[in-house]
Amino acid sequence: MIQQIGQIGVTVKDLKRAAAFYKETLGLQQLFETENMSFFECEGVRLMLTLPENESFDHPGSVIYFNVPDIEEAYQRLKDQGVSLLDQPHVVAKMGDTETWMTFFKDTEGNTHALMSEVKAG
């Protein structure tokens, strides 16, 4: 089901300050930035700096985003296994003809992680 880690999300308090650190201090290649997020390339794993979406994400730590080929199938599989799902699969970004889909879940320790799938827009 899971192919690889596609993205790691790091919650930040000051996006501009954090993006400057990762770009200028660490020397990572910045891919793009939105109002609430900044994305960097790190040898095939995307690093996302993000302001908290809501209070469940407002804590220090990281979110692991697992790439899956079919997000609906993976979502249903987790649901069938009784995993605590936080939302339905949904589009979070459109870049050209590619859509990034995600759904979030909790692990057994209460950590929030995500399944993600990038598909051609259709």
CATH number of the domain that residue 33 is part of: 3.10.180.10
Q: What rounded mean pLDDT belongs to the chain?
A: 88
Average pLDDT over residues 53-78: 83
Q: Is the pLDDT reported for residue 93 higher than 80?
A: yes
Q: What is the pLDDT of residues 99-116, one digit of tens each?
A: 999 999 888 767 788 999
Compute φ and ψ for 20, nearest 5 degrees: -65, -40
Q: Residue 58's pLDDT band (boundaries 50, 70, 90)?
A: low
Percent of the chain with pLDDT over 70: 94
Say if CB 75 and CB 87 are below 8 A apart: no
DSSP string, 22-91: IIIIS-PEEEEE-SSEEEEEETTEEEEEE--SSGGG-SSSEEEEEE-S-HHHHHHHHHHTT-EE-S--EE
- Domain enclosing residue 45, as ranges: 4-120
How many structural domains compose the chain?
1
Question: Are the C-beta atoms of residues 100 and 89 closer than 8 Å to each other?
Answer: no
The pair of structure tokens assigned to 22 is 């990762």
